[in-house]
Amino acid sequence: MSQHSKGYNITEVKPKPIIEISRLRFLSYAIFEAYASEDGKHVEYKSIHGSEEFARYLRIVEELQRVDLQYMSREEKMAFFYL
């Protein structure tokens, strides 16, 4: 459902369950593993920026704003913020 308020188009969407977002940590590890030097001292940030993996990472990060924290247990909230 869309609402118009002061010229802005606001779209209401349902919150995402945390399970869909939990892959973020694994994706970030995979990105750094793929683009870090063998000794781990250097990272090819320009290559990361242009990669499909990083684009996927950004899409997941954008979804974090839709995670419903209201009904999470204390442990789930701690795990979420540890991500």
* Structural domain includes residue 52: yes
Burial of 39 (0-12, 13-18, 19+ CB in 10 A): exposed
* Structural domain includes residue 43: yes
The half-sphere exposure of 67 on its side-chain side, counting CA atoms within 13 A, is 19
Burial of 26 (0-12, 13-18, 19+ CB in 10 A): exposed
Closest CA to 18 of 81, 59, 48: 81
Q: Kindly give the interhelix angle for 23-35 and 52-63, rounded to the nearest 10 degrees.
A: 150
Q: What is the pLDDT of residues 7-52, one digit of tens each?
A: 556 556 666 666 656 678 888 889 999 999 999 999 999 999 999 9
Q: What is the pLDDT of residues 58-78, one digit of tens each?
A: 988 888 877 778 888 888 888
pTM of the model: 0.61
Total count of domains within the chain:
1
